Structure 1
Amino acid sequence: MTSKSDVYFRRELQMLRRTGISFAENEKIAYRIYSSLCYFLLFGYPFVAFSDLFKHEFDIVADLLIYELATIMVCCEAFVVILNKKKLKALLSKLETKPFLPNFERGGEIEEKFLKDFSIVTERQANICWGSVFSTVGMSTIATLIKRIRSNDHRNWEFTYGPLTVLDVTRSPYFEITWLYQIMCVTVIGLSHSSIILIFSEILGHTSVQFKMLQNNLMQITENAHRLMTQEPRGAAEHQEVDASQIPWEYLQKSLNEAISYHLSILDVTYEMENIFNMLTLSIFMFSLAVTCFQVYHASILSAFDVRFLKCFTDSSSALFPVFLLCFWSHQVAHESEQVAKYVFQANFAGSDLRLQKSLSLIMLRSQRPVLLKAGKLIEISLPTFVSIIRASYSAYMVLRSVHEE
């Protein structure tokens, strides 16, 4: 019995659709117009911000460069997703069909529990990401709006994410128009970025859960073969001791082939995922590191008690959070893929057909090479990589800090 399919990525795809990136075919004309407007806000803003980049003092330019790099990174992410829309849609659809759905006959109720627990984690993860976008943009919007209401002097007016002087912002309503345009652009950019990162991290997390389900399946490979032989439903004799030596090769082979096919399907997903996202992850790493470098330099010349120092810290955390999310789930995939060998060894294979034992040894040998995903096929996406980035950033900050103090 296979449980009914759930659309695991519904939340993320709906949010991405609200930012103009739809995976559905034959959208209505009204949505196409809306999508074109979102594309204008998303891809047009970096050009508008760049035209205003070098009109100010160095400190302001340094801040604007951080925002400019962040917006270019999101544009690269969106471009990769739009370019690979069909491949990504096929991959998401594959994860919502057999053999990736919970199968009671294959692994029992624990498979459904694995996916339910993971769904709770991803829901919280999505709420945190989108909540941070709305709260950050919302607080900045309220702060600048209060300044505008309290003062009629344009020198006291402030934009949410750096000045824009495309229009004459010293007068009303040009200031309000530019201010609203920037808020709309930043909102679309932030939601697009968080949704793309959530989709990728959820695919990684989903793959790690599939490896856990495979571990459970391999550990029960002789029990599943015994049920095939006796035609007993799962649960009829759940705790009955099975003598593997009494099970003919015919049934062992069928149970083994199902497990191997499932294992190969999971590995195929990881290869497809890396081919689709390898340039995307490389751009995320490169731009996040560039933003962090500017923030480290900026923080090194500020006092630890300065409000701007706290802003540098929060901006750096925001830049590195997507990298952490990808590294964490990719590390989980590598860990769970390596754990397959451990659970194969726990299977009840003693006394079984030698052909089964040889096949299990080959599975163990393959599983000792964990699935390691790479950004641009160059940088390993893992928690040790993220830790090395944090250490390098802290070391650079301390060196720059000591130089400025001297």
Structure 2
Amino acid sequence: MHSNSQSSRLGDYFRPQKLILKICGISLRENESISYRLYSGFVMCMIVSLLFVEIHGIVVHIKDVENLAGFIAIVFQHVLTLFKLIILKRNRAIISETLQMLHEGCFAPNFERGGAIEEKLIKECNHDIFVRSATYYIAGAITIGNAVIIALRTKLGQDDYRLWETFWLPFELFEIKSTTCYYIVYIYCSLAITYFSTFVMVTDLLITSVIKHATTHFVILGNFIRNITKYKVEKNNDELYNDYPKLRNDRLRMRMRAAIVYHQEIIKVTERFENLFNIFILCEFVGSIFVLCGTMYKSTLYSLGDQRTIRECVFLFTMTTQLFIYCYCGNELTLSSTSVSFACYEADFIDEDLWFQKNLLMIMMRSQKPVALTAGKFTVLSLPAFVGILRVSYSSAMVLRKAN
């Protein structure tokens, strides 16, 4: 029933995410070269050192609400990113194994099971992931590029070193008085935050890509169940299985067994990712509330045409995109998992044996319990959750604005 050759023809679904993760210093392979380990250690040191610089900035600006809001939002996000990085490094073997599972076994496109539509659906899934990734990366690049240009313009347009701005947040570890010192700090902050941002984006896309593939496999399963009795078995190359009740019954049992195993394997993969990343996603949600609140508040402090307002609005759009991708993918996963029960109802089961109807009923009953990813078991990833986070963030920002 399985066709791994078709899967190999489609290539590695997650190759771009693995490559970018490796550039960020995280490899899903455990046996890396010494040179790569040194590179990974350098990246980690740069990221951790930036975090300490930002925490020092909070202490310096403890009474300055305008800068304090920005520092707290960014530091909170970076602390959570560091926590996510640790989770990823500790579980990289399990993650790599799970990603490989989606290429083989019952997850491989199977012409006998669902026809050419299976390969078509997986190709569409990969295309959707590519479009989503491109949109997210472009939004992130615009956000980072905008902040880079704004900071550099203050250096090129001002002779007074006190008016020079570093990348995104003020650098308060020591006073920057010379051009050489400024450019060193500028490059350091730009690289560190770019690594932070890229790691956040690629992990988001890796998780949502797995969710998207699970969603696609629920659709494939639904198509398989819907047409489970509509197939032909040839004997002597000229007679159909309808003339051979025993042969037909055996083949139907085999197909029903394959459908049940396929359903269980999809649920198993999603539950594995749920157990690995529910705390990860909770951190993402909590961090988003702080960042959105702080960004909304800061964007109200300047005039509409101020370059800082533009910077905050662009960042706000990127953070909203990040949150929407999670919630949209989670919502689609839930809907596709429950749609399997409707596919069972649409199957031609009326004239079939009792064992077939009972098995179909069991699949329907299991499908009525939605498969969903949660944020720390507190809330399901869904569009209502997305709207709720935006409401909480906006309300908090307005309370902060009125209080100050």
Q: What secondary structure is seen at the aligned counterpart in 2 of 1:266?
A: helix
Aligned to 1:54: 59
* Shift in alpha-carbon separation, 1:398–1:148, aligned structure 2, 3 A: closer
Aligned to 2:180: 173
Q: Report if aligned partners of 2:226, 2:346 keep a CA contact under 8 Å in 1.
A: yes
1:192 equivalent to 2:199? Answer: yes
Aligned to 2:152: 145
Matches within 5 A, 1:371-390: 371-390=371-390
Task: Give the distance between the partners of 1:141 and 1:55, measured in 2 at CA.
Answer: 23
1:220 equivalent to 2:198? Answer: no
Matches within 5 A, 1:108-257: 108-224=115-231, 226-227=232-233, 230=235, 248-257=248-257
Task: Give the distance between the partners of 1:17 and 1:171, measured in 2 at CA.
Answer: 35
Residue by residue over 1:52-78, the C-alpha shift from the partner in whole angstroms, topping out at 9 and shown as x without a partner, is 223233312222222212211211221
Q: Offset at 1:136? A: 2.1
Task: Give the distance between the partners of 2:120 and 2:225, measured in 1 at CA.
Answer: 17
* Shift in alpha-carbon separation, 1:295–1:141, aligned structure 2, 3 A: closer
Task: Give the distance between the partners of 1:369 and 1:244, measured in 2 at CA.
Answer: 37
* Shift in alpha-carbon separation, 1:280–1:286, aligned structure 2, 3 A: same
Task: Give the distance between the partners of 1:82 and 1:330, measured in 2 at CA.
Answer: 24
Matches within 5 A, 1:61-100: 61-100=68-107
Task: Give the distance between the partners of 2:371 and 2:244, measured in 1 at CA.
Answer: 31
1:317 equivalent to 2:317? Answer: yes
Unaligned runs of 5+ in 1: none
Task: Give the distance between the partners of 1:274 and 1:36, measured in 2 at CA.
Answer: 29
Task: Give the distance between the partners of 2:243 and 2:212, measured in 1 at CA.
Answer: 36
Q: Is the deviation greater in 146-155 or in 369-378?
A: 146-155
Q: Offset at 1:99? A: 1.0
Aligned to 1:369: 369
Q: Is the deviation greater in 176-185 or in 308-317?
A: 308-317
Q: Report if aligned partners of 1:167, 1:178 keep a CA contact under 8 Å in 2.
A: no
- Aligned with 2:50 (options 40, 45, 53): 45
Q: Is the deviation greater in 46-55 or in 314-323?
A: 314-323
Residue by residue over 1:324-374, the C-alpha shift from the partner in whole angstroms, topping out at 9 and shown as x without a partner, is 211111111110010001111111222111210111111111111111221
Q: Is the deviation greater in 41-50 or in 87-96?
A: 41-50
* 1:212 aligned partner, one-letter code: V
Aligned to 1:332: 332
Q: Report if aligned partners of 2:222, 2:339 keep a CA contact under 8 Å in 1.
A: yes
Q: Offset at 1:223? A: 2.3
1:28 equivalent to 2:33? Answer: yes
Unaligned runs of 5+ in 2: none
Task: Give the distance between the partners of 1:115 and 1:383, measured in 2 at CA.
Answer: 24
Q: Offset at 1:384? A: 1.3
* 2:7 aligned partner, one-letter code: K
Q: Offset at 1:306? A: 5.6
* 1:321 aligned partner, one-letter code: T
Q: Offset at 1:253? A: 0.9
